[in-house]
Chains A and B, each alone.
Chain A
Amino acid sequence: MATTTTTVPSAGPVAGSRSFLSRLRQGDEIAHIITFLFAVSVVLVTLLLVFDLWQGSALPRHKFGFNFFRTSVWDPIFDHFGALPFIYGTLVTAAVSLVIAVPLGIGAAIFLAELAPARVSDTLEFFIDLLAAVPSVIYGLLGVFIVVPLMRQYIQPALKHSLGFLPLFQGPAYGVGFLTAGIVLAIMVIPYIISVSREVLLSVPRDQREAALSLGATRWESTWKVVVPFARGGILGSIFLALARALGETMAVTMVIGNTPAISASLFSSGYSIAAVIANELTEATSNLHYQSLIELGLVLFLLTFVLNGLARLLIVATSQRGAGMGNA
């Protein structure tokens, strides 16, 4: 039990300093200062990181300027570095992963939020959250030994056979490449889409559904035409979150993408992503320009994920507030 602290306010400096001292003795000021220092350290570390990236990429920024983003040559011998193949690879694999993960994820979220009884929904959600906890290198392991042979032996030839007229599915089937990396990424980001979309869908007020149903809509129509659009912002936010995760993924991608700085219309082609090239080349970039170009790539990746994460949170918060503010449970 604390000793009494409230001092009777009395005139005079002695009384005032006594109350400060007693506050100090009880540790409030110290607690305030200490916790403040810890909180500030978070800000300082983050600032230091951004500063480090900025400083560390000074050479290529001055030498190449914006051409860095338009050149597709990555030549350590002649010291020409362009980011285009890596940006391309990062974006393409992320796009492929979303094309697969978004329909699956939203479909599953709708099932969990609208159809499944609460117990089933919670249990399945539990398993899906576990999926989000699986580390990237394990996905890489499965990618190398299971997905790549599957792709090379069955899926890629099948796609070539049926859809080979599209430039997307032409070229030799290595097993590794943009498509494989996209598929592995899709598995990794589905949990994010499902869990956030499910929460957002659950927060849509009941009277929205009931109103639609009372007007004669089928269950599906009420879901797809009323509830989902209401939760549109949050669902979009979940997609941005998934995208941000897909862009920054390193291990799983470098193990299945083929590690070639190539830009190609075909999804079967092997490629490279920003994170993968940094992982492969950072410890050995002997020329300063090479090393700092890799840092600049890191800066680009950081900025991309930063913007996407920000947008994602805005959208999710905006939708949840709408849901909470409007109807009642």
Chain B
Amino acid sequence: MKRFAGLLVVVLAAAGVLWADSALSINGAGATFPYPMYSKWFDEYHKKNANLQINYQSIGSGGGIKQVTEGTVDFGATDGPMNDEQLKAYQDKHGSGILHFPTVLGAVVPTYNIPGVTAELNFTPDALAGIFLGKITKWNDPAIADANKGVKLPADDIVVVHRAEGSGTTYCWTDYLSKVSDEWKTKVGKGGSVNWPVGLGGKGNEGVTGTIKNTPDSIGYVELIYAESNKIPYGNVKNASGVFVKASLAAVSAAAAGAAKEMPDDFRVSITNAPGKTAYPISTFTWLLIPEKFSDAAKRDAIKGFVKWMLADGQNYAEALSYAKLPKEVVAKETKAIDKIQ
């Protein structure tokens, strides 16, 4: 019995050692917003490069920033760009910087589940701010009803759903609300994790979608693909030019058009409430957070290879999953920036 146990341990240890050498494993973590896109990309890239595994865990943008700063993952992902304080913290800890690489564009949509209402509702900025501040509590409130003449809205209480953890999707949503509502700006502010005045917390875009699906009279904010693939209705939002726009790839690209020409070198830019008649006001880039310096040359080359692929072939997978491709100018600028990764 003892001899068998000993043999078993030796065999397993050997297996562990041998196993460990067969493929390069890279770990990343962060945003749930682009998770459908990334999981498809890493799957496809693995098919093309069988000895490279890129394991991505969607734990929320806040988690991505924190874990890449701690160094427990090789790269992070976020849709709320790191602020100066966080960049400095990374610099202090590692002695070198971290780079933002936009991957795709997406839209954050107000999605809802109102029994008996299948129409696409129109939401004004004031309505959205009021709902999430907890000041508008019923679906048939004039602030909502006035923009939706012809739709019978029930007198039910609104159930607000938001993110339970630190999220870039939240960052984009609150960034937008801060721009359109002074009350929101002072009372709550913008960030990955805020002190929500009302609402239930769901974990990840996945959790929020699941909660909305299961909760009548609820409203929440999720990335477009989550609403579409789960067939829950989402509303049109009034943009800066006064037009009610439905989130679509064209509308998101329109929102990014201006920023594309003025893209800063570090790629951190906000495109919420962008000007333009066709622009969707709650759009955002989403970024990979890649360290400037890699101590492991194999990992560095693997990641650089992936980013190159992502900017070229990878972009072709985006539209099928309801993400907008990056503007050409941004792709060109990023391709040059890849060389910054040492």
Instruction: Flag if A77 contacts B159 (CB, 8 Å).
Output: no
Give the number of chain B interface residues (Cβ < 8 Å).
35
Any chain A CB within 8 A of the CB of B203?
yes
- Closest residue on chain B to residue A288 by CB atoms: B89
Instruction: Please tell me if A260 contacts chain B, counting CB pairs below 8 Å.
Output: yes
- The 0/1 profile, CB within 8 Å of B marked 1, for residues 50-91 of chain A is 000000000000000000000001111110000000000000
Given A283-B63, A284-B59, A285-B66, are A76 and B166 neighbors across the interface (CB < 8 Å)? yes
Q: Is the CB of A74 within 8 A of B215?
A: no
* Contact between chains at A260 and B63 (CB < 8 Å): no
Stretch touching chain A among B125-133, B190-198, B268-276, B307-315: B190-198
A29 within 8 A of B: no
- Chain A residues engaging chain B, CB cutoff 8 angstroms: 73-78, 148-149, 152, 172, 174-176, 254, 258-260, 270, 272, 280-281, 283-286
User: Smallest Cβ distance from A300 to chain B, in angstroms?
Assistant: 20
**B66, A259: Cβ atoms under 8 Å?**
no
> A272–B64 Cα gap in the complex (Å)?
23
User: Do A284 and B195 touch (CB < 8 A)?
Assistant: no
Cβ-based interface call for B69 (8 A) = yes
Partner pick for B191 among A76, A149, A175, A258, CB 8 A cutoff: A76
Q: Which residues of B contact A (CB under 8 A)?
A: 29, 59-67, 69, 86, 89, 157, 159, 164-166, 188-189, 191-196, 199-203, 211, 214-215, 217
Known: A73-B195, A77-B191, A172-B159. A284 touches B214 (CB 8 A): no
A74 touches B195 (CB 8 A): yes
Using Cβ atoms and an 8 Å threshold, which residues of chain A touch B66?
283-286
Contacts of B195 in A (CB 8 A): 73-78
Looking across the interface, which residue of chain B has its beta carbon closest to that of A262? Answer: B198
Known contacts being A148-B214, A175-B214, A281-B166, is A77 close to B65, with CB within 8 Å? no
Shortest C-beta distance, A257 to chain B (Å), equals 9
Selected from A78, A172, A259, A284, the residue in CB contact (under 8 A) with B60 is A284
CB distance from B296 to the nearest CB of A (A): 23
State A74–B166 Cα separation when bound (angstroms): 13
Cα distance, A304 to B91, chains bound together (Å): 39
Assess the A172–B191 pair: CB atoms within 8 A: no
Known interface pairs A77-B195, A286-B166; A175-B215 also in contact (CB < 8 Å): yes
Instruction: A76-B166, A260-B196, A281-B166 are known; give 7 further A-B pairs, CB within 8 A.
Output: A78-B189, A174-B200, A280-B203, A284-B59, A284-B61, A284-B165, A285-B62
Question: For the complex, what is the distance from the CA of A207 to the CA of B212, rounded to whole Å?
Answer: 61
